[in-house]
Amino acid sequence: MSDAPALKLGDFICFSLYSASHAFTRVYKPLLDRLGLTYPQYLVMVLLWERDGQTVGQIGEQLFLESSTLTPLLKRLEAAGHVRRERNPADERQVLIRLTDTGRGLKDQTVDFFEHLTQAVGMGLEEITELRDNIQRLRSNLNRFAG
């Protein structure tokens, strides 16, 4: 929200999202450092673990990110040996991102994330689910306005 008469910054829901998101990244940091991944890189890897061989555009659509953000990020993942980037022979405009064996193997090193994070979140599964659904609904509303 914005500056209604007596609204302080702490009351802005935009700021609660902004600061909570950063807080989450800070919790992930020590876990991801062991894998040599940043948080956005981890998000891309999660997508690829779900379904390998996606285009830059497909990844961007799911993460709500532009190619100007993803291209350098994907090149870093490639340089780290986690993915390969290859043109789609069927449509040379597209670049397909594929996991390497080491990239696929990284998934095993994330098995203990769940426990660490549920601990850090400190809320019940039901409560988390409801909160997540509400945040997603808010995101849909916002994207309708921005997109």
Listed in sequence order, the residues at least 6 apart from 106 whose beta carbon sits closer than 8 Å to its beta carbon are 35, 37, 45, 82
Strands lying side by side in the sheet with 83-88: 54-55, 91-99, 83-88
Q: Using the rule CB under 8 A, is 109 a contact of a copy of itself?
A: no
Query: How many alpha carbons fall within 13 Å on the CB side of residue 13?
Result: 6
What CA–CA distance (Å, rounded) separates 68 from 130? 33
Binding status of residue 87 toward a copy of itself by CB under 8 A: no
Q: Which residues here bind DNA, judged by CB under 7 A?
A: 18, 22, 25-26, 29, 38-41, 55-58, 60, 64-74, 76, 85, 88, 90-95
Give CA–CA dist 33/30, Å, rounded: 5
Please, which residue, 102 or 138, has the CB nearer to a copy of itself?
138
Site string for a copy of itself, 14-53 (x = CB under 8 A): xxxxxxxxxxxxxxxx---------x---x--xx-xx---
Instruction: Report the interface residues with a copy of itself, using CB under 8 A.
Output: 1-4, 8-29, 39, 43, 46-47, 49-50, 62-64, 107, 110-111, 113-114, 116-123, 127-128, 131-132, 134-139, 141-146
